[in-house]
Chain A
Amino acid sequence: MSENKSLNQKFEELEKAKEWFYSDEFELDKAVEKYKSAIALAKELQKDLDDLKNEIEILDEDFTK
């Protein structure tokens, strides 16, 4: 659904989806669809969080001199 988006972008998207539910724009007819998308995004985010790895680089620089 949003494979190329960064973690932050996905967080923002989920936050926006949440805001819609609390806003005056809320419509019951659209809510179920929006809810399904938000849940899918939340699951994707949780998976992304599990898959995140750090890159560790030991510098070649010699700091003894």
Chain B
Amino acid sequence: MSKAGLPQTLNFTPTEFLAVVNQTLEYAYSSVTIVGEVASFKVNQGKWVFFDIKDEESSVSCFMTLYQLRMPLEDGMKVVVRGVPKVTKWGKFSFTVTAVKPVGEGSLKKAYELLKKKLADEGLFDLTKKRKIPEDLTKIGVISSTAAAGYADFIKILNARWGGLKIQVAHTQVQGMDAPDQIIRALKYFNERGNVQAIVILRGGGSADDLACFNDEILVREIASSRIPVITGIGHEVDESLADLAADIRASTPSNAAEILTSDREDVKRSVARMASDLFSVITSKIDVLKKTNVDIILQISDVIKMKIIDIKGVLSERIKVLDALNPERILKQGYAVLNGKISPGNVVKITTYEREIKAEIKEIYERK
């Protein structure tokens, strides 16, 4: 109060006054969020974004840079904006927006579709750009909230399936307006300083609003441009985010990401056991082959001997036939006789036929005609 009892008057220049007002506003409302509907949305000079956020009765003018606009906006979309109230140097009240995101199913879907089309047209989701996870994977970078159920599922499945992996975990928020920037910083960290062969971004299931941070334009671009292959395991099978589309591999869940990244040690153990058992089969089959070879050789020798015997039998048979033809008995049997003794009249000679021996006296000898 003044000495006269009147309120003390503060004297300012316009610049001083606005500075004090803005300081007061900033002190009183350092960070405010407003939920409302977008109206009069426009972008000036490709850099400055202006729109009103309104409800049935009131409207607040908003201002932000295009860089801070991480999702497409349109009139009629329901959004939540975060920022600070300010009075401009022209004396106009404005809400300086630091972050904006759609809320409600309709607005989220609309923003998603608009950004999806824009990024797809730029080729950000081209399948030809997708890279494979290295086969000799031993070092993995994980981006997730270490308190999230999805992260716990991932680690549990990973440990059960395989071992010997070095896993670096970047703890970040995985929902809310700050999540995209934190995930981007973690991506940059792994790309610039982390010694990992693959980066996994994880988040368990949630509402469309919870998962909306994975449709942030700058985050999606960061994933697409990552030097290290990125695999996403966000939400459930039915949840498709733009981060999923930009990633090299999209796992349907965090658990599925662990399955994609690792072999199952039980499968490998079974395969080793099968390999060992195959060796035994090989030995027994080789022994069987050797046995069969021996039997074959014996059979071949036996066949040769048989053929030789048949040949010899043939020769013998022919010779027997010849000998048989010369057999005197055979000649006698044909009716011939053998005469033994001196052939002169009055002599007694022996005549041998097939059946008899005859003594006979020679009566007369004369020449055959």
Given contacts A52-B164, A58-B146, contact A42 B182 (CB under 8 A): no
| Chain A proximity mask over B279-310: 1 for CB below 8 Å, otherwise 0 | 11011001100100000000000000000000
B149: Cβ under 8 A from any A Cβ: no
Q: Are A50 and B189 in contact (CB under 8 A)?
A: no
Q: Are A50 and B265 in contact (CB under 8 A)?
A: yes
A49–B285 CA distance with the chains assembled, in angstroms: 30
Q: How large is the interface on B (under 10, 10 to 19, 20 to 34, 35 or more residues)?
A: 35 or more
A61–B190 CA distance with the chains assembled, in angstroms: 11
Binding site for A on B (CB under 8 A): 136, 146, 155, 158-159, 162-173, 178, 182-183, 185-186, 189, 265, 268-269, 272-273, 275-276, 278-280, 282-283, 286-287, 290
Output the residue of A45, A57, A59, A61 with the most chain B CB within 10 A: A59
Chain A positions 6-65 with a Cβ under 8 Å from a chain B Cβ: 7-8, 14, 17-18, 21-22, 26, 28, 31-32, 35, 38-39, 42, 45-46, 49-59, 61, 63-64
A56–B287 CA distance with the chains assembled, in angstroms: 50
Q: Are A18 and B278 in contact (CB under 8 A)?
A: yes
Q: Are A59 and B169 in contact (CB under 8 A)?
A: yes
Provide the residues of chain A in CB contact with B290, threshold 8 Å.
28
Given contacts A14-B272, A50-B265, contact A59 B182 (CB under 8 A): no
Provide the residues of chain A in CB contact with B171, threshold 8 Å.
58-59, 63
Q: Are A21 and B282 in contact (CB under 8 A)?
A: yes
Given contacts A22-B282, A63-B189, A64-B182, contact A52 B163 (CB under 8 A): yes
Q: Are A61 and B189 in contact (CB under 8 A)?
A: yes
Given contacts A50-B265, A59-B168, A64-B178, contact A35 B163 (CB under 8 A): no
From the candidates B162, B280, B287, name the one contacting A52 in the complex (CB within 8 A). Answer: B162
Kindly provide the distance from the CB of A47 to the nearest chain B CB, expressed in whole angstroms. 10
Kindly provide the distance from the CB of B200 to the nearest chain A CB, expressed in whole angstroms. 13
Nearest neighbor of A40 in chain B, beta-carbon distance: B276
- A residues contacting the other copy or chain, number (CB 8 A): 31
From the candidates A7, A38, A54, A61, name the one contacting B276 in the complex (CB within 8 A). Answer: A38
Q: Are B268 and A49 in contact (CB under 8 A)?
A: yes
Q: Are B269 and A56 in contact (CB under 8 A)?
A: no
A32–B169 CA distance with the chains assembled, in angstroms: 48
- With A26-B282, A52-B163, A63-B189 known, 7 other A-B pairs at CB within 8 A are A42-B275, A49-B269, A54-B165, A59-B169, A59-B171, A63-B182, A64-B172
Provide the residues of chain B in CB contact with A58, threshold 8 Å.
146, 169, 171
Provide the residues of chain A in CB contact with B268, threshold 8 Å.
49
Kindly provide the distance from the CB of B120 to the nearest chain A CB, expressed in whole angstroms. 29
Q: Are B189 and A38 in contact (CB under 8 A)?
A: no
Provide the residues of chain B in CB contact with A38, threshold 8 Å.
276, 279
Q: Are B163 and A39 in contact (CB under 8 A)?
A: no
Nearest neighbor of A15 in chain B, beta-carbon distance: B275
Q: Are B165 and A55 in contact (CB under 8 A)?
A: yes
5 contacts between A and B (CB under 8 A): A26-B286, A28-B283, A28-B287, A50-B265, A54-B162
